Amino acid sequence: MSPRIAAFCALLTVAALPARAADVTSFTLDNGMDVVVLEDHRAPVVVHMVWYRVGSADEPRGKSGIAHFLEHLMFKGTENVSPGEFSEIVAANGGTDNAFTSYDYTGYFQRVAADRLGLMMEMEADRMINLVIAPEFVDSERNVVLEERNQRTDNDPGSLLTEQRNAAQFLHHPYGMPIIGWRHEIEGLTRDDAIAFYRQHYAPNNAILIVAGDVTPEEVRTLAETHYGPIPANPAIQPRDRVDEPPHLAERRIMFSDPRISQPMVLRTYLAAERDSGAQKEAAALTLLSEVLGGSGSTSVLPRKLQFESTNSIYATAFYSGTSLDDTTFGLVNVPAPGVSLEEAEADLDRVLKEFLEDGIDDAQLERIKTQLRASLIYAEDSISGLARTYGVALTSGLTVADIEAWPEILAATTEEDILAAASRLFDLDQAVTSYFMPEVAAEVSQ
């Protein structure tokens, strides 16, 4: 994506490209903790990550934001480590650490010199079972989270639109709630809520350990058995089984206006299939569809037709990420040029989609995309932390190591017919939310 249109980046999710490390080993500890090791011996560094198979979509109703609030409170002390000391120790060992929460996962990671791996495991294992959460830090940390929400969402109309759009997209499934939580519910979250969520979900048999870098599988196994091995499995952990969406019978439209918006745009998302273990073909077709429609800023269908063959748009693209536990979304964006209305921009999108389904896909374009996918496997080996993250997201989204390794071949085998068939199933307005993002509501025309 060109630097000059970076302003739109925040709205988009880059389509998942394949990734595979040269040396991947996986095994499971006796207590059910899964372990993945990605070897890269170029530098004496490791990334140590623990991913829990729990995210905001697993929260009890009325407690939105508790998965993320707990993630913050995981730094507020255990029976053995005082509040804040975790990061202090990591820093004192020349490392960096942080954590993240999404719909389907919560992850904790440290980057550190390879010879400090055992210490990281010792501390991460400690807070898997011994979390205390010093009560005096709860109120101030809730304020930190509220300011995080201010910064990420309330101060950014694009994020506010995403929140409204997801709420309209998912009629029933918890993906309709924001990861960080609704403000009024964050304000009411308590230490007890966090502890209850922790006890219910944080256990070795609900966790995946990923170690990437200058380390061997044997070393990781020995250290993991020492530090994580003694933690008993929690028998109450069950596979996640969330509510299903009911049939979507009506198109939804959002008119979002805010004085802080300078650049109007139209954005449409469709409910879309995700990658399922052993059944990734539909998601592969959708991944390639997003590449064909929007993967390149100049040669993809949307920019070519809307920015080059016409001058109606400043920017047009598509986005899709199939790595998700449950159904996800496929999106289209059109940013009209000055003087072009959002109604025209939407009509342009519909026209391009219609022509695309009629005309099919240019063979040379599909070949270029597949060439780039093959190359991305090579380039991906250069970023071991990126690879570790790819594995973590996939493994907490219901996929297996075998699924991850099969993915590039499934993409490569996807044909024009597969992509067009997936597109036909996808582009159903009853499954869609169309959003107008604009500076102010257009004045009503009086009759």
Partner 1 sequence: MIRFVLAAALSVLAILPARAAVEIQEVTTPGGFTAWLVEENSIPFAAIEIRFMGGASLDPEGKRGAVNLMMALLEEGSGDMDAQAFAEAREELATTIRFDSSDDDVSVSLRFLTENRDASVDLLTQALTEPSFDQDALDRVREQVLSGIRSNQTDPSAIARETFYRLAWGDHPYGSRSDGTTESVMSLTRDDMFDAHARTISKDRVFVGAVGNINADELAMVLDRILGELPETGAPQAPDGTYQAPVGITTVPFETPQSVALFGHEGIARDDPDFFTAFVVNEIFGSAGFESRLMQEIRVKRGLTYGIGAYLAPRDRGALILGQVATAGERMTETIEALRAEWARIAEEGVTEEELEAAKTYLTGAYPLRFDGNATIARIMVGMQMDGLPIDYIATRNDNVNAVTLEEARRVAARIYRPEDLHIVVVGAPEGLEPGN
Active site residues: 71
CB of 373 to partner 1, least distance (A): 9
Q: Specify whether the backbone of 443 is left (phi greater than 0), alpha (psi in -120 to 50) or beta.
A: beta
User: C-alpha 422: how far from its chain's center?
Assistant: 22
Which tokens sit at 280? 């990734």
Task: Tell me: does residue 188 bind partner 1 (CB under 8 A).
Answer: no
Task: Tell me: does residue 155 bind partner 1 (CB under 8 A).
Answer: yes
Strands of the sheet with 432-438, listed across from one edge: 252-257, 432-438, 265-272, 328-336, 313-320
Q: Which of 14, 28, 135, 147 binds partner 1 (CB under 8 A)?
A: 147
Kindly tell me which of 5 and 347 has the beta carbon lying closer to partner 1. 5
Which tokens sit at 137? 């830090």
Q: Tokens 């990781």 map to which residue?
A: 220
Instruction: Name the one range near partner 1 by CB under 8 A: 24-32, 267-275, 335-343, 404-412.
Output: 335-343
Q: Which of 23, 79, 139, 355 binds partner 1 (CB under 8 A)?
A: 139
Q: Tokens 């120790």 map to which residue?
A: 89
Task: Tell me: does residue 84 bind partner 1 (CB under 8 A).
Answer: yes
Strand partners, 101: 106
Tally Cβ neighbours within 10 Å of residue 118: 15
CB of 330 to partner 1, least distance (A): 22
Kindly tell me which of 140 and 447 has the beta carbon lying closer to partner 1. 140
Q: Tokens 């309709």 map to which residue?
A: 176
CB of 217 to partner 1, least distance (A): 19
d(CA 404, CA 302): 29
Q: Tell me, residue by residue from 52 to 71, as one string, x for binding to partner 1 by CB under 8 A and - for no binding.
A: --------------------
Kindly tell me which of 148 and 327 has the beta carbon lying closer to partner 1. 148
Task: Tell me: does residue 94 bind partner 1 (CB under 8 A).
Answer: yes
Contact positions with partner 1 (CB under 8 A) in 247-276: 259-263
Residues 40 and 32 sit within 8 Å (Cβ to Cβ): no
Q: What's the DSSP call for residue 78?
A: B
CB of 249 to partner 1, least distance (A): 36
Task: Tell me: does residue 166 bind partner 1 (CB under 8 A).
Answer: no
Kindly tell me which of 92 and 249 has the beta carbon lying closer to partner 1. 92
Which amino acid, one-letter code, is at 399?
A: L
Q: Which of 11, 16, 19, 45 binds partner 1 (CB under 8 A)?
A: 45
User: C-alpha 46: how far from its chain's center?
Assistant: 23
Q: Which of 24, 25, 126, 154 binds partner 1 (CB under 8 A)?
A: 154
Tally Cβ neighbours within 10 Å of residue 61: 8
Half-sphere exposure of 282 (CA within 13 A, CB side): 17
Task: Tell me: does residue 282 bind partner 1 (CB under 8 A).
Answer: no
Which amino acid, one-letter code, is at 345?
A: A
Kindly tell me which of 32 and 118 has the beta carbon lying closer to partner 1. 118
CA distances from 151 to 35, 100, 154, 239, 417 (A): 35, 16, 7, 34, 44
Q: Which of 14, 28, 62, 91 binds partner 1 (CB under 8 A)?
A: 91
d(CA 439, CA 430): 27
- The contact set with partner 1 (CB under 8 A) reads 2-7, 42-45, 75, 84, 87-88, 91-96, 111-113, 139-148, 150-151, 154-155, 259-263, 296-299, 304, 307-308, 311, 314-315, 335, 337-338, 364, 368-369, 371-372, 374-376, 378-379, 381-383, 385
